[in-house]
Structure 1
């Protein structure tokens, strides 16, 4: 398959449109369409669903993953032959809490590599399996211990979460010393964030159907919304401790939720990918081990 056509497929998926791909590649939208038609003709099947944004078909996911692997290896070969390292696009998926608390050490490591570029997608750790299988990312911090096809898995550690709330919010939604879980408003990071649901199922056996849920898709804003009393939440223990110490938050109970994290990446003979995996494991060494 023509490498230029493969690059065009990836540009469409990454930019979210044929027009965006044209701008990124420095060609016309009609040229993007022509390249895609040629690639689909070579593959013998449709690779992109012409939707908004464009979505890869099952065959398109396979081709996209192959294209990213080829692109990484091609860049490494060019570097070895010419002694010059081109841009190395490292696409990874990381959950927001990890990105805030321990993943910055990975950013520091990659910053010291010649011409490496890091494309970080902030996704719930339960969704990253889908991104790996589609070929959107070459590595992901995930809760999935079973390897995605074509990937290898390494243990990272556990993130410990505690249930907390503003003291005034707890007073408003407590009766005779018992928390009114059905009535107390709750926070979540986004529609895929099920931590609070899992915690409620553990506590009362079900998720109340008509509760007040606020979505705050920012780590800093989520912490602030919890502190101000917009709702109760599950926070990483390390993040909650300073606010608990100052009395700005209180524990709803002493129980902790432990979320086991794994690093999944493509099974590929790539020195850059191996280096990235080492950097992720070193950064995650601050986490308690998986039991």
Structure 2
């Protein structure tokens, strides 16, 4: 699954960069999402594969903090890029005449850089929360990676303040992007319903179908893990749900976007014919 994830996302990046027909904001954001997915799954899965092969599940304290930092960085970047892609679809469908002016290359690059900066800030805030904990009652994490909520559960000291800060940061990096996505699609649906022809409605909806599928899969499992950890202590359920959004979702992204997108399929055919 890890190899499929890496090869699939690399193929998306290669196709988008090599085909001039795909040099548009939507595919620019898609290639950045593929990069973020590759980094997101690479923070946890290679270590887990090594642990399975060597029968050793040891990770150093510094290694644990490093893994957690990159995990939060790429996870938040995924979330923000999905929000940016929703905004891109909003501009394309609701303001088609001004789309090329608004979504110019400079503005698109700025959106990606802002997403990266916010993700770095969020990951360092999570690290700062964990660094305040000096003593742990156990050295065994009931998970396959260093999850912030799991580390807080192992702390000997009172973590109520840390939990409040962590879920506040989670709300900023999770619920605010979801609000942006929901608002964008509210405007998109309102605009599509005013289209007189059924063919036009279908064409507009089809451009959003792939993005909506990824949003539901990523946010449904990701938020489920963090919300459930706040009300229950079931590490097994958390780990199972975490597998979906750390392994399954990055693997499915290339398939969903390539199989449901005619432009990507045509670009792949052109790339294959050039290679042959």
Q: 1 or 2, which has the higher strand percentage?
A: 1
Larger Rg belongs to: 1
Which TM-score band (shorter chain)? Answer: under 0.3
Higher helix share: 2
- Which fold has the larger relative contact order, with Cα–Cα distance below 8 Å and residues 6 or more apart in sequence? 2
